[in-house]
């Protein structure tokens, strides 16, 4: 695989990062995951806007990582790795760079951020969409700035492992009795005919897929409310689904022991999912 590291394209086995890199020592970095279809980046503008925001919020200088530079980089990686046909993902991570000695406070001004990126083939999880997936709940023990797409993903990794061990697809976090989001996805539910999802506060990542699905839902005339819902409301919801760059729209049919929608994917997730995939993967992707 040809990857990108600090301005160079090279084989992944030749790419090396200093052990003093702050991404390694402190998790001091941010990232994005972007889908590509037939060489076109999907919703690239929204992903690069969110990357710029994450950089700004953690005060990593972002001047070199604008939308045009990021799209060019992503397209190069797709090209270099023979991924101009079919589905692929592009991963981009930017850290505060490396500096010696190790200090908790930021290194001196002028320390170059580290940028690492790769593209790899992606197989959409279409099979699971037909039957829907089970999820489990876990306490949201993450920090108070989940709106920043930081590489500090230990709580997410630990919670996702619980899902794997329980034979579930995803773990969804609960904070103060209300659902926030999944370890790497947002959650929607249809409650009393209203499509609901957690609002974009500091408690969740404002998902790109979440935004697109909300736009599709509103333009199809559905009643939408960005209002957090309780565990009890989720367990008695008519329909529920996860959204993310890698899931698209994934119907949820079980939450812990509670069955959702009679154990079958609901009509709304199917309709929204089809609309999303038509929009995103039919050569009409925005900002690519």
Residues near ligand PDD (CB under 6 A): 33, 181, 184-186, 205, 207-210, 243-246
Residue nearest to ligand PDD (CB): 207
Residue 169 Cβ vs ligand PDD, minimum distance, rounded to whole Å: 14
Nearer to ligand PDD, 44 or 83 (CB): 44
Place of tokens 């037909």: 130
Nearer to ligand PDD, 71 or 186 (CB): 186
Residue 132 CA to its chain's centroid (Å): 19
Q: Which of 48, 49, 55 is nearest to 73 (CA)?
A: 48
Residue 197 Cβ vs ligand PDD, minimum distance, rounded to whole Å: 11
Nearer to ligand PDD, 114 or 244 (CB): 244
CB 67 within 8 A of CB 45: yes
Angle subtended by helix axes 208-219 and 44-58, to nearest 10: 130
**How many residues in the chain?**
288
Active site residue 149: yes
| Tokens linked to 85 | 């046909």
φ/ψ of residue 78, rounded to 5: -65, -45
Residue 32 Cβ vs ligand PDD, minimum distance, rounded to whole Å: 8
Residue 216 Cβ vs ligand PDD, minimum distance, rounded to whole Å: 13
| Tokens linked to 277 | 């995939």
Residue of 149, 196, 210, 254 with catalytic role: 149
Helix (H) or strand (E) holding 24: helix 22-26
Distances (CA, A) of 256 to 197, 234, 235, 244, 264: 19, 11, 9, 21, 15
Nearer to ligand PDD, 74 or 107 (CB): 74
Nearer to ligand PDD, 98 or 186 (CB): 186
Q: Which of 121, 142, 113, 144 is nearest to 30 (CA)?
A: 113
Residue 203 Cβ vs ligand PDD, minimum distance, rounded to whole Å: 11
Place of tokens 């589905």: 87
* Positions marked catalytic: 149
């Amino acid at each position: 695989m040809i990857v990108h590291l600090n301005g160079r394209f090279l084989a992944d086995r030749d790419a090396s990062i200093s052990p003093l890199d702050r991404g390694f020592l402190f998790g001091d970095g941010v990232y994005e995951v972007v889908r590509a279809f037939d060489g076109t980046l999907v919703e690239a503008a929204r992903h690069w806007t969110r990357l710029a925001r994450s950089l700004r919020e953690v005060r990593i200088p972002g001047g070199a990582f604008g939308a045009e530079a990021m799209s060019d980089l992503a397209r190069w990686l797709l090209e270099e790795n023979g991924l101009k046909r079919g589905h692929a993902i592009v991963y981009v991570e930017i850290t505060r760079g490396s500096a010696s000695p190790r200090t908790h406070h930021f290194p001196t001004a002028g320390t170059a951020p580290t940028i690492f990126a790769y593209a790899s083939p992606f197989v959409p999880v279409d099979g699971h969409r037909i039957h829907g997936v089970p999820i489990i709940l876990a306490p949201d023990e993450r920090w108070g700035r989940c709106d920043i797409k930081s590489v500090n993903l230990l709580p997410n990794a630990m919670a996702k492992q619980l899902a794997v061990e329980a034979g579930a697809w995803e773990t969804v976090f609960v904070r103060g009795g209300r659902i926030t989001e999944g370890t790497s996805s947002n959650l929607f539910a249809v409650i009393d005919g209203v499509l609901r999802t957690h609002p974009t506060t500091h408690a969740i990542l404002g998902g790109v897929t979440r935004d697109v699905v909300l736009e599709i839902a509103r333009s199809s005339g559905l009643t939408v409310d960005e209002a957090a819902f309780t565990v009890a409301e989720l367990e008695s919801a008519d329909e529920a689904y996860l959204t993310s760059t890698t899931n698209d729209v994934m119907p949820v049919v079980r939450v812990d022991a509670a069955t959702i929608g009679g154990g079958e994917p609901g009509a709304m997730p199917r309709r929204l999912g089809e609309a999303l995939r038509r929009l995103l993967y039919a050569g009409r992707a925005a900002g690519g």
